[in-house]
Amino acid sequence: MDPETILTTTPVPPLQVTVAWLRAMVARFSTGEDHTRRRALVLEELARIQPQALQEAASPKQPPVATLAQALGYAVNPEDVREIAKAYQPHFPQTPEADQACARLVQALGGTPDERTAAKIGILVQACDATEALIKNTHPPVPTTRRWVDGAEVAVDLRDHPFGAGPHACPGEDHAKALAQGALNNTRR
């Protein structure tokens, strides 16, 4: 067999859709041009819904991530989002359950493991625990975050900036506040 035939007939192994894949594809853990491009995808998704609509749709009977997913038109299982959130940060324990949840979310969001799908999952994962903490009036909802600076992991205190600052500031701050306010206001639903 000639080398050209081998190159065209050798199957490419399927991409492993795991939490590690997700982290490698989202703005949250990116820098430079990758961060800029991936953040633009997040902003594009969030621009599809007005915070006021989230506030009106929010209910204390439904997890805020479910309200957000519905408003964005994502038919996903909020428990899959919660499972990924438990393993999302690189210093959190990684689990096969989180990897399986990640693969299910990719399928639920169209089946293409690309940056756009990762951005959608990232929006939900970032909103999951932080928005619930905001509703419970936990200050700050995310007390610290971690960044890599010159190859070293650095903890960043968020007490004075609960939604971050600079290029990695939370792009969904208005949406998170609207979900929290709606859940608190709409207690009679």
The residue extents of the domains of the chain are 15-139+175-185
Residue 144, token pair as written in the block: 């610290």
Q: How confident is the model over 66-84, as a mean pLDDT?
A: 97
Per-residue pLDDT at 88: 95
Q: Identify the bridge partners of residue 154 per DSSP, sorted by sequence position.
A: 147
Q: How confident is the model over 135-158, as a mean pLDDT?
A: 77
Give the C-alpha separation, 25 to 23, whole Å.
5
Quick: pLDDT tens for 83-122: 999 999 888 999 999 999 999 999 999 999 999 999 999 9
Residue 72, token pair as written in the block: 């964005």
DSSP string, 21-76: HHHHHSGGG--HHHHHHHHHHHHHHHTTS-HHHHHHH--TTS-HHHHHHHHHT---
Per-residue pLDDT at 12: 57
User: Torsions phi, psi of 154, nearest 5?
Assistant: -125, 130
Give the C-alpha separation, 140 to 154, whole Å.
18
Per-residue pLDDT at 3: 57
When the pLDDT of each residue in the chain is averaged and rounded to a whole number, the result is: 89
Residue 189, token pair as written in the block: 């639903």
Tell whether the model's pLDDT for residue 182 goes beyond 90.
yes
Per-residue pLDDT at 11: 64
Residue 48, token pair as written in the block: 């599809």
Of 77-91, 124-138, 151-165, where does the model show the most confidence? 77-91
- Which amino acid is present at 154? V
Cβ 19 vs Cβ 105: under 8 Å: no
Give the C-alpha separation, 94 to 139, whole Å.
27
Confidence band (pLDDT; 50, 70, 90) for 172?
Answer: very high
Quick: pLDDT tens for 3-32: 565 555 656 566 799 999 999 999 999 999
Number of helices and strands in the chain (H, E): 9, 2
| Secondary structure of residue 146 in the 3-state scheme | strand
Per-residue pLDDT at 8: 59
Q: How confident is the model over 140-147, as a mean pLDDT?
A: 73
